Amino acid sequence: MNTADLIKIRRNLHEIPEPGFQEYKTQHLLLELVASFPQAHLQIRKWETGFAVKVAGSHPERIIGFRADIDGLPIMEENDYPYVSGHEGYMHACGHDFHMTIALGALERLAETPIKDDVVFIFQPAEEGPGGALPMLDSEIFSSWRPDVIFALHIAPELPVGTVSSKPGLLFANTSELFIDFKGKGGHAAYPHLTHDMVAAASSFVTQLQQIVSRRVDPLESAVVTIGKITGGFVQNVIAENARLEGTIRTLNPQIIDQVKKHIEQIAKGHEISFDCSIAIDYGSNYYQVFNDEHYVQKFKQIVETENVNWKDASSAMTGEDFGYMLKEIPGFMFWLGVDSVYGLHHSKLDPDEDALEVGVNIVEKTIRSL
Ligand SMILES: CC(=O)N[C@@H](CCC[C@H](N)C(=O)O)C(=O)O
């Protein structure tokens, strides 16, 4: 596969972003492409909307795993190139189109020239939510093809093409989604004293949440509480009987996330009393931190240094990744791949530089051959 092929595949995938566990077209396209590779050493196992491909080694003693996530995000794309998302309201705004393309590029090369060990390429659904890694770990794929070492990459818009970055230890945060539903008494906008206004309750709640990180979490720890969506009411002159907040909690220390949840629950109790309403909290999906194995990161750094690729020591980030669950059970690492986009991850104008595809394929192939 040459650079033009990689770009074509990436653009085709970019056009069909799908929500977690609904990646039907994506799975179909990926499997069609895998079917066009030399088949002699390949074996495929499907799981939900994902799958894994094993490339049989000549004298296997280990299994090396590489994981790519395959879902899109509920974001309306604002780019105007010809291969813009064809699924309105969804976009590959977290680079999973790159992750999949790079996995395919490396898989094709391994299918042509396998190594001594077995290699498993894992195409995992639902990274953005509700989380595919944890249930996939319990599947037949991981019981029969359990890797001895596993790695994955994530695009980094802020890094130039030709740079990769990682670190031993904690790379990504612990996360929990956060959904808060308010139910009170609605009514006529002119009679607020006869109602329990859920728009007011939800607004006050958002304000109170800001106090958790600044006043309840130890300043030497790190935490984020973000509300990304607020909904409530139906019309301008009716006091709302329902409101909903949607957000996420991030911490670098797994224990701190429980403290943050406890404080959110205390705020909820206070608001139930002061706004005379009921509040239901749902923590959605929770991701375990991405913790890189020191030995494999050092080895990866040495591999990078033999290629024409720059290395940058990474800092821990508040991003989340359910790949953390795989690293909890299997030694390995995740790394950032520079794609040089003015707009960042989860932005409707994210526009990664496609020159990074070739860099990604080379480094993933080289790493698999050298680990
Ligand atoms: C790399 C990245 O951006 N990952 C997502 C993971 C989302 C987890 C979950 N849906 C949540 O929002 O907590 C991220 O937002 O960091």
Question: Ligand 1 pocket by C-beta < 6 Å: which residues?
Answer: 94, 128-129, 154, 175, 177, 248, 285, 287, 319-321, 345
CB 54 within 8 A of CB 107: no
Helices 3-14 and 355-370 pack at an angle, to 10 degrees, of 110
pLDDT of residue 12: 98
Give residue 215's pLDDT: 96
Chain CA centroid to CA 267, Å: 29
The answer to whether the annotation marks 14 as part of a ligand binding site is no
Instruction: State the pLDDT at residue 187.
Output: 98
* Per-residue model confidence (pLDDT) at position 308: 87
Domain parsing of the chain, residue ranges? 3-170+289-370, 174-286
Instruction: Give the residue from 250, 17, 20 showing the smallest Cα distance to 131.
Output: 20
How many whole angstroms from 307 Cα to the centroid of ligand 1?
31
Is CATH 3.40.630.10 correct for 3-170+289-370?
Answer: yes
Is residue 154 a known part of a binding site?
yes
Residue 193 counted as an annotated binding residue:
no
DSSP code string of 253-265: SHHHHHHHHHHHH
For ligand 1, the distance from its centroid to the CA atom of residue 50, given in whole angstroms, is 19
The pLDDT score that the predictor gives to residue 60 is 98
Q: Please list, in sequence order, all residues whose beta carbon lies within 8 angstroms of the beta carbon of residue 193, skipping any fewer than 6 positions away.
A: none
> Which amino acid, one-letter code, is at 220?
L
Which atom of ligand 1 is closest in space to residue 250's alpha carbon? 13
The pick from 227, 257, 319 for probing ligand 1's pocket by mutation, whose C-beta has the most ligand atoms within 8 angstroms, reads: 319
Q: 176 C-alpha to center of ligand 1: Å?
A: 9
- What pLDDT shows up at residue 296? 98
Residue in the structure block whose two tokens are 């074996």: 43
Indicate if 174-286 has the same CATH topology as 3-170+289-370: no
Q: Which class is domain 174-286?
A: alpha beta
Residue 96 labeled ligand binder: yes
Annotated catalytic, 128? yes
Residue ranges of the chain whose pLDDT lies below 70: none
Does 69 qualify as catalytic in the annotation? Answer: yes
C-alpha 213/C-alpha 337 separation (Å) is 30
Q: Over the stretch 260-305, which tens digit does the pLDDT of each residue have? A: 999 999 999 999 999 999 999 999 999 999 999 999 999 999 999 9
Compute the distance between CA of residue 285 and CA of residue 130 in angstroms, rounded to an integer.
6
